[in-house]
Chains A and B, each alone.
Chain A
């Protein structure tokens, strides 16, 4: 760059010029620094950990390389791990599917039929999402009490069922799934509703003029347009449900329930790490869970994701 008769290049000017160039990086550095320290490093370290046997109480020098032993142990020998994976997948499915199957029509209903009260009703469904899982799960434990719980009372009155012992392994998972469903159905409704609001009104009117009844409009016009949001929402559900921790933890009093009926993979990892002090295996479990998560999101991508070039 040719520049004649420059104003004198004082050191101060050079320093200021350098500072100006560096400034944008300074602005974004807090995120990257914090992420590097509290996000990236732990993650990388846990990869390393998963290949070692280590009891942290013994000190850093006691790490022993064991290769894939931890993974082998978790997958083949650890009954509780396979049990917790089964539980996790079961709960993920049983609470996840209804979350969306109910949220979609609900959002559609709110969008088309409810004007004035819409915000109120939406708010009521959404409230569970923002409140403390722990606080409400504690309340739920009393509600699901075998002899005194509301749920059993209601079931008795409405369906004539004998009181269920929700702590029994076959029922624990149902209890957890119900609570998770309760928590997230409003969130998914909010997501679908905001997506519905971007559906052009003319499209629906054109369909109506073509003779489509509301139900058909929904199926043929709206659903295809909602696919991107469904993909996003289902991804969130998958990721969230697969790492479920708080609800099952509280609902089973931290134990995982009788016969580990309510133990999820994340809970198992927690236990292995902090109760048994086996950080190596715990890290291996974490990565196995991540692999399942990646697989699930990949599958979801195939199912609901946008096809390249299909528009």
Chain B
């Protein structure tokens, strides 16, 4: 269990126009489960691999328990990694795979066997010990990969999108297992995924990356309820948060399709964000006018897609099936509470609270 500190980490791939890591500053507390999330190419995997020592960095530092590890080779950092493809040794049995790191450390055969059995028990893969990886299912291989990481008793566990090769049902199951594992072992864990559901459910804290920059770090609910910028707001939540242009003036938001009361002072051109589930019906003629284009029934929820009257900006509304459902082409009138209005300035960041 160790704390991880990343300081001003920069990296540019040779020949690339922009850096893949643009000066990252991040702290991971001891025993924390930290999730790196973001779209492809945002640098989250590169950062993880830099922590592991698999990617060299151009500038900055990585500290584990206060000591810099950025110059150390991967095998000596005290980190273990579970790869997306599991990266098992195909010609070795499961037992040999699990014991490989211990063999590299030079432990005696008997001791290796004891520790391998212990780990196999924890992950419930004892019956698989003499088998070869190619005869295992995806989920089983996963466990072996995790086991190989556990056996090293690392200070930090690194996970590189470990669940993306599994089918949906298995993914849910493994998610729960990973959460349980974290509770049992208590080791610091850094987990990379592009799946926001995994991020929201597994993360003690989430770090959202975009284009090599850290957009926001915090607990899942914090990021969901109080996103710091347009990117984070649009990244978490499905369907995506609605955005439309508006002007804050005189305690109301004036948009193309109408206006909404907004208990905020000041005057600014903003991008307003409202989550689909936060729309309420308004009196006809008040609030925002939205023309419904399509109604999607998902069984447990209904999603209405429409366009803001006047500007044609796309909006979506999420409600329970029991509520009244509009027809296609019908005009709806919508409103919402002030606390569900996320106002973003021209720089994409949330508007600072008026003093």
Task: Report how far A3 CA is from B67 CA in the complex, Å.
Answer: 10
Q: How large is the interface on B (under 10, 10 to 19, 20 to 34, 35 or more residues)?
A: 10 to 19
1/0 per position for A1-34, CB-CB distance to B under 8 A? 1111111000000000000100000000000000
CB-CB < 8 A to A3: which residues of B?
Answer: 61, 68, 70-71
Residue of A nearest to B73 (CB): A20
Residue of A nearest to B70 (CB): A3
Residue of B nearest to A5 (CB): B68
- Whether the Cβ atoms of A5 and B70 lie closer than 8 Å is no
Whether B63 is near chain A, meaning CB under 8 Å from some CB there, is: yes
- Whether the Cβ atoms of B68 and A1 lie closer than 8 Å is no
Q: Quote the shortest CB–CB distance from B165 to chain A (angstroms).
A: 31
CB-CB < 8 A to B73: which residues of A?
Answer: 20
CB-CB < 8 A to A20: which residues of B?
Answer: 73
Interface residue from A1, A4, A6 paired with B59 (Cβ < 8 Å):
A1
1/0 per position for B50-72, CB-CB distance to A under 8 A? 00000001111101001111111
Q: Quote the shortest CB–CB distance from B80 to chain A (angstroms).
A: 19
8 A Cβ contacts from A238-294 to B: none
CB-CB < 8 A to B59: which residues of A?
Answer: 1-2
Residue of A nearest to B58 (CB): A1
1/0 per position for A209-235, CB-CB distance to B under 8 A? 000000000000000000000000000
1/0 per position for B3-19, CB-CB distance to A under 8 A? 00001100000000000
Q: Quote the shortest CB–CB distance from A283 to chain B (angstroms).
A: 45
- Whether the Cβ atoms of B72 and A2 lie closer than 8 Å is no
Q: How large is the interface on A (under 10, 10 to 19, 20 to 34, 35 or more residues)?
A: under 10
CB-CB < 8 A to A5: which residues of B?
Answer: 63, 66-68
Residue of A nearest to B60 (CB): A2
8 A Cβ contacts from B61-98 to A: 61, 63, 66-73
- Whether the Cβ atoms of B68 and A4 lie closer than 8 Å is yes
8 A Cβ contacts from B262-287 to A: none
Task: Report how far A5 CA is from B60 CA in the complex, Å.
Answer: 12
Q: Quote the shortest CB–CB distance from A107 to chain B (angstroms).
A: 36
Task: Report how far A3 CA is from B58 CA in the complex, Å.
Answer: 11
Task: Report how far A5 CA is from B7 CA in the complex, Å.
Answer: 13
CB-CB < 8 A to B68: which residues of A?
Answer: 3-7
Residue of A nearest to B62 (CB): A3
Q: Quote the shortest CB–CB distance from B195 to chain A (angstroms).
A: 34
Task: Report how far A4 CA is from B71 CA in the complex, Å.
Answer: 11
CB-CB < 8 A to B66: which residues of A?
Answer: 5
- Whether the Cβ atoms of A7 and B61 lie closer than 8 Å is no
- Whether the Cβ atoms of A4 and B61 lie closer than 8 Å is yes
Task: Report how far A1 CA is from B70 CA in the complex, Å.
Answer: 10
With contacts A7-B72, A20-B73 known, is A2 near B67, CB below 8 A? no
- Whether the Cβ atoms of A7 and B67 lie closer than 8 Å is yes
- Whether the Cβ atoms of A6 and B60 lie closer than 8 Å is no
Q: Quote the shortest CB–CB distance from A270 to chain B (angstroms).
A: 48
Task: Report how far A4 CA is from B69 CA in the complex, Å.
Answer: 10
Q: Quote the shortest CB–CB distance from B21 to chain A (angstroms).
A: 14
CB-CB < 8 A to A1: which residues of B?
Answer: 57-59, 70
Task: Report how far A3 CA is from B8 CA in the complex, Å.
Answer: 11
Q: Quote the shortest CB–CB distance from B61 to chain A (angstroms).
A: 6
8 A Cβ contacts from B1-44 to A: 7-8
Task: Report how far A3 CA is from B59 CA in the complex, Å.
Answer: 9
A-B contact pairs, 13 of them (CB 8 A): A1-B57, A1-B58, A1-B70, A2-B8, A3-B68, A3-B71, A4-B7, A4-B61, A5-B66, A5-B68, A6-B71, A7-B67, A7-B69
Known: A3-B71, A5-B63, A6-B68. 13 other contacts (CB 8 A): A1-B57, A1-B58, A2-B60, A3-B68, A3-B70, A4-B61, A4-B63, A4-B68, A5-B66, A5-B68, A7-B68, A7-B69, A7-B72
Q: What 7 pairs across the A-B complex have the smallest Cβ distances?
A: A5-B68, A3-B68, A6-B68, A3-B61, A7-B67, A3-B70, A4-B61
